[in-house]
Chains A and B, each alone.
Chain A
Amino acid sequence: MVDLLAAEWLKVRSARSTRRVAIAVATVVGLMALLAWYVARLYDRVRADSGGRAEVSSPAELAAWLTALCLAVLGVRTITSEFATGMIRTSLTVAPRPGALLLAKAAVVGGIALVTGQLVTFGTALVSRGIVGDRPLGFNAEPLSAEVPVLLAAGLSVLMFAVVGVGLGAVLRSSAGAIATLCMLWYVLPIITINLPAPWSARVSSVMLQELPRQLAGAATADGLLSPLGALAGMVAYAALPLLAGAVLMRRREP
């Protein structure tokens, strides 16, 4: 398994999708810094007549949300690119255990996503707070130390999305299909559930992917129905189920 992990790490390191995703993530962080700078400048200009208060949503959480999509695409590509080129046959010839191969991919992409997620969320939090200084803009009302649980959970969501990407890629074997499905889970489904009449709206919304991190941090705003442990279980289930389905299918389908 160590050898498989090392080989997958070499693969990810040397693929073009990884470089593109890295550029996308860097762009996200840059945009968040730009947003913070723009908001600060705007605040200074209108402070006089707005009464000195403004509400801006947290750039760090927004960064985590966007980074999650980037890393999920990376997760999808690590497996679908092999199906697209037929290289999966070579991979399975040199290491003839499909389940172990998929697990190694998930572990490597998950590891990258874990580190990237935390770096991006905490990095964006520090940078945006540094840029806006002591201007009261809502997201910096509390000290950074109080924001730590939310940031940790948001960073973890990046890991979860990346592993969901690997699983969906293994199940669907198509980049387009997997990324579209991911987008359904990540964005379209939550929008639809908001339209459901109460009480199911809140119930279904609380188990949507994007709602889980805040519930995990115990900081859910209104509709949070899950305990932090329940939210954690939900995140693990989201990551594990597609991966499990992918492993079973990779065993049964001939490459």
Chain B
Amino acid sequence: MCGGPASGSVGGVIEIRGLTKRYGRTVAVDDLSFRARPGAVTGFLGPNGAGKTTTMRAVLGLATPTSGEALVNGQPYRRLRQPMYEVGALLDAGAVDGTRSALMHLRWLARTNRIGRARVEAVLAQVGLTAVAGKRVGGFSLGMKQRLGIAAALLGDPAVMIFDEPVNGLDPDGIRWIRELLRSLAAQGRTVLLSSHLMSEMALTADRLIIIGQGRLIADTSVGELAEQFNRGVLVRSPRPTELTAVLTGAGATVVAEPGGALAVTGLGPAQIGDLAAAHGIAVHEATPRSASLEEAYLALTASSVTYAAGGGGGPR
């Protein structure tokens, strides 16, 4: 399908090593290091202005690091001869010449890396724009422009894909479409780096999470680990709290009595608590897991980014 050198859709990697970028006296990115690996969606998360876009521009050779390096497949981006076969990127879907048709936009892009016309038609079909391929991009909705930008990123069938806030301004259908596409790209063994300032979106899409604040790394973790870290146990209500407390502590849990007669249990899940209570003939009226939402976890992390940064820039591993 693809009219150029064979693509390697597995094995790509993005590596950021001690990346620092200053604009005058403003530090946009401060000694940032992380890796994005194949076969996973790496969520790149941080509040607006945290340095996500600057980092992505450094990866794509659009910004020159003040110090440190950003490597793609072990090389600085600017050294890639035909980059579209190695990296596909969507930075700003609106950054297209609105007077050109979608087809011509993709055709000139493809031509820079010797990608054939058949591949252009194929990606248009993949993102569902075939019917409007001849229309001027200026008349496209934001969702259609996002699809066009994704089509452009897919042209070279690259192993590494970079998306900067791809769901901004999309309707729920569009968001779901992008989410499923990103999941499937990672399932094919590609390295997917996805930036967002929305934790709720990341929780559904990303496997790994790189969280930054004020240009520094706050956390390099997984969705599961982050949820675990902010786990606050299970809230249990029972007509016989004293007996239940004895049973649960006997099974290794920590139990704290809460005002109103409820018990806060950590160390056991709701299912185990229910089973133990049943085995001892104790009725349980409620067993609610009280993990903080990922959104709360994220807000807690980024709110304290200054404190973490003072401790040396590293976060919980």
Q: Do chains A and B touch in the complex (CB under 8 A)?
A: yes
With most chain B CB atoms within 10 A of its CB, the pick from A10, A17, A86 is A10
Taking CB atoms, residues of chain A closer than 8 Å to B104 are 10-11, 13-14
Cβ-defined contact, B83 with A3, below 8 A: no
What 1/0 flags go to A89-132 for Cβ under 8 Å of B?
A: 11111111100000000000000000000000000000000000
Q: Select one of A6, A90, A97 contacting B111, CB under 8 A.
A: A6
Q: B180 interface residue, CB < 8 Å from A? A: no
* Given A85-B97, A89-B92; A10-B62 close (CB under 8 Å): no
With most chain A CB atoms within 10 A of its CB, the pick from B84, B91, B109 is B109
Query: Which A residues have a C-beta under 8 Å from some C-beta of B?
Result: 3-4, 6-8, 10-11, 13-17, 81-82, 85-87, 89-97, 254-255
Cβ-defined contact, A90 with B91, below 8 A: yes
Taking CB atoms, residues of chain A closer than 8 Å to B152 are 90
Cβ-defined contact, B62 with A254, below 8 A: yes
Q: Say how far B2's CB is from chain A's closest CB, in angstroms.
A: 15
With most chain B CB atoms within 10 A of its CB, the pick from A81, A85, A90 is A90
Cβ-defined contact, B83 with A94, below 8 A: yes
Can you list 24 A-B pairs with a CB-CB distance of less than 8 A? A3-B114, A4-B112, A6-B111, A7-B108, A7-B109, A10-B111, A11-B97, A14-B101, A14-B104, A14-B108, A15-B97, A16-B99, A16-B100, A87-B96, A87-B97, A92-B61, A92-B62, A93-B61, A93-B91, A95-B113, A96-B80, A254-B57, A254-B62, A254-B63
Which B163-222 residues sit within 8 Å CB-CB of chain A? none
What 1/0 flags go to B70-111 for Cβ under 8 Å of A?
A: 000000011010011001010110111111110011011101
Taking CB atoms, residues of chain B closer than 8 Å to A91 are 112
Main secondary structure of the interface of A (DSSP, over half): helix
20 additional contacts (CB under 8 A) given A10-B104, A93-B83, A255-B62 = A3-B112, A6-B111, A10-B108, A10-B111, A11-B100, A14-B105, A85-B94, A85-B98, A86-B92, A89-B62, A89-B95, A93-B60, A94-B109, A95-B83, A95-B113, A96-B77, A96-B80, A254-B57, A254-B63, A254-B64
Taking CB atoms, residues of chain B closer than 8 Å to A8 are 108
Taking CB atoms, residues of chain A closer than 8 Å to B92 are 86, 89
Taking CB atoms, residues of chain A closer than 8 Å to B112 are 3-4, 7, 91, 94-95
Q: Say how far A21's CB is from chain B's closest CB, in angstroms.
A: 13
**Nearest-neighbor residue (CB-CB) of B98 within chain A:** A85
Cβ-defined contact, A81 with B97, below 8 A: yes
User: When chains A and B are docked, how far (Å) is the Cα of A251 from the Cα of B107?
Assistant: 26
Q: Report, nearest first, the 8 A-B pairs whose CB atoms are least far apart.
A: A86-B95, A16-B99, A14-B104, A10-B108, A7-B111, A7-B112, A96-B78, A7-B108
Cβ-defined contact, A93 with B114, below 8 A: no
Q: Say how far A13's CB is from chain B's closest CB, in angstroms.
A: 8
Cβ-defined contact, A82 with B62, below 8 A: no
User: When chains A and B are docked, how far (Å) is the Cα of A89 from the Cα of B111?
Assistant: 16
Which B104-163 residues sit within 8 Å CB-CB of chain A? 104-105, 107-109, 111-114, 152
With most chain B CB atoms within 10 A of its CB, the pick from A4, A82, A95 is A95
Taking CB atoms, residues of chain B closer than 8 Å to A3 are 111-114
Q: Say how far A209's CB is from chain B's closest CB, in angstroms.
A: 29
User: When chains A and B are docked, how far (Å) is the Cα of A97 from the Cα of B112?
Assistant: 12
* Given A10-B108, A96-B83; A90-B95 close (CB under 8 Å): yes
Taking CB atoms, residues of chain B closer than 8 Å to A85 are 94-98
Cβ-defined contact, B78 with A87, below 8 A: no
Cβ-defined contact, A93 with B89, below 8 A: yes
Cβ-defined contact, A10 with B107, below 8 A: yes
Cβ-defined contact, A96 with B61, below 8 A: yes
With most chain B CB atoms within 10 A of its CB, the pick from A3, A16, A85, A94 is A94
